[in-house]
Amino acid sequence: MITMKQDIIIIGAGPAGLSFARAMAETGLNIILLEKQPESVLANPSYDGREIALTHLSHRIMKDLGMWTLIPDQYISLIKKAKVLNGVSPYTLNFDHAESGEDNLGFMVSNQNIRKAAYNSLSGFKNIQIMDKTEVSAVGTDQDKGWVELSDGQRLEAPLIVAADSRFSATRRMMGISTSMLDFGRTCVVCTMSAELPHHETAYECFHFGRTLAVLPLNNNQVSIVITLKSEESETLLSLSKEAFAEDIKTRMEERFGEMELTSELFPYPLVATFANSFHKNRFVLIGDAAVGMHPVTAHGFNLGLRGAHSLANEIKETLNIGGDFSSHMILERYSRQHRRTSAPLYHGTNALVKLYTKETPTAKLARRVLLRLGNHIAPAKRLIMNQLTEIKTTGF
């Protein structure tokens, strides 16, 4: 007879792992989260420069999970309009919340505050335990159980193992799940800046000069800056003085924000997109970036991770309600099918867009101009793009 203290082992207490744990909390199942970092870091994560554009669907899920109320209002900024700019052309693709029927297109919350809220949302649930400073050295599954070996020699068993250990998931590799990776050879640099002129809660996505530059509105007339550029150029950018950097962004944005000032350090991240070739294998399932690691340009990453975690939790809860085995192949297969269907078009679409917008060939340039105009003038296309970005009408969870 196997006696297991845990029902579910979650590897990785990042936003996806924590959200999944929270979504399962009320079932009373015993859940253990294994995390490399000390718990004090989870409770008080440091600022990492990442400001996440949350969709309406994410907003609804986070409200359901009791995470939203844990984010103080002053840390939630709204996006009411969005403009897509192509090169130096004055022509823009415009989105306005008024066309969407909602008060805003999306919400801006820092990754720091999301992580904090996800962590705090677990307080009071005695069935959820975090084992911090823990490294997984081996993982495996058999017919009746999954098991994890920790670097200190401990062994844990549970009917189900959920991996949420980043897009470079080590346990995914240990389980022999292959993964498609796309290294863009580019770097993403993020920071916050203050702007002299009001941003009118407008997000800008500018594609030009082989770079992409996103300027996202934050409260107190701050903006979040996201630059993607060739990795060899990022060194130069990172070595600029604060003043020179501010001057560069000001010019690129054609001074529409007046004077700008850098208010955080510059955080570089290498750009690698990943897509696991299977999201599950006997009693082992991938969520968050371990399943799909998106390019950040269309801001789908955390939204998609949250949606996946939520849909896996829903499959499990439905199974529990009819006394089923929540670790069965059928349940994991159903989650996997659903999540692949949601994420595959976004993943490939985003990668295609990135290629289109970083190429400087005449055809790419033409295609960009055409796309922008089509987007503006064909109502269904525009609605489609808008819903993709905002998930206002997405109810499929």
Q: Which residues are at the interface with other proteins (CB under 8 A)?
A: 1-3, 27-28, 144, 318-325, 328-330
Least distance CB 131 / other proteins (angstroms): 23
Using CA atoms, how far apart are residues 15 and 304, in angstroms rounded to an integer? 12
The span from the CA of 188 to the CA of 222, in Å, is 19
As measured in angstroms, the least distance from the Cβ of 157 to other proteins is 12
Residue 217 tokens read as 């509105």
Nearer to other proteins, 6 or 222 (CB): 6
CB of residue 318 vs other proteins: minimum separation in angstroms? Answer: 8
CA dihedral 128, 28, 17, 12 (to 10 degrees): 40
Return the SS3 of 307.
helix
Rounded Cα distance between 28 and 369, Å, is 54
> Residue 324 or 375: which CB sits closer to other proteins?
324
Backbone angles phi, psi at 96, to 5 degrees: -130, 140
* Least distance in angstroms from the C-beta of 316 to other proteins: 12
Give the list of residues 6+ apart from residue 376 with CB closer than 8 angstroms, or none. Answer: 93, 94, 382
Nearest Cα residue to 102 out of 51, 53, 52, 55: 55
Cβ proximity to other proteins, 175 vs 331, nearer residue: 331
- The residue (of 144 and 255) whose beta carbon lies closer to other proteins is 144
CB-nearer residue toward other proteins: 319 or 376? 319
Query: How does strand 202-208 pair with strand 211-218?
Result: antiparallel
Q: Name the DSSP letter for residue 6.
A: -
The nearest distance, CB 24 to other proteins, in angstroms, is 13
Nearest alpha-carbon partner for 2 in 129, 142, 160, 144 = 144
Closest approach, Cβ 323 to other proteins, in A, equals 3
Report the residue number, 329 or 373, with the smaller CB distance to other proteins: 329
Shortest distance in whole angstroms from residue 76 CB to other proteins: 35
Q: 136 near 243, Cβ under 8 Å?
A: no
* Complex with other proteins: residue 1 or 88, whichever CB lies closer: 1
132, amino acid identity: D
Q: Of all helices (H) and strands (E), which one includes residue 116?
A: helix 111-120
**CB-wise, 212 or 336, nearer to other proteins?**
336
* Least distance CB 333 / other proteins (angstroms): 9
Question: Is residue 114 within 8 Å of residue 50, measured between CB atoms?
Answer: no
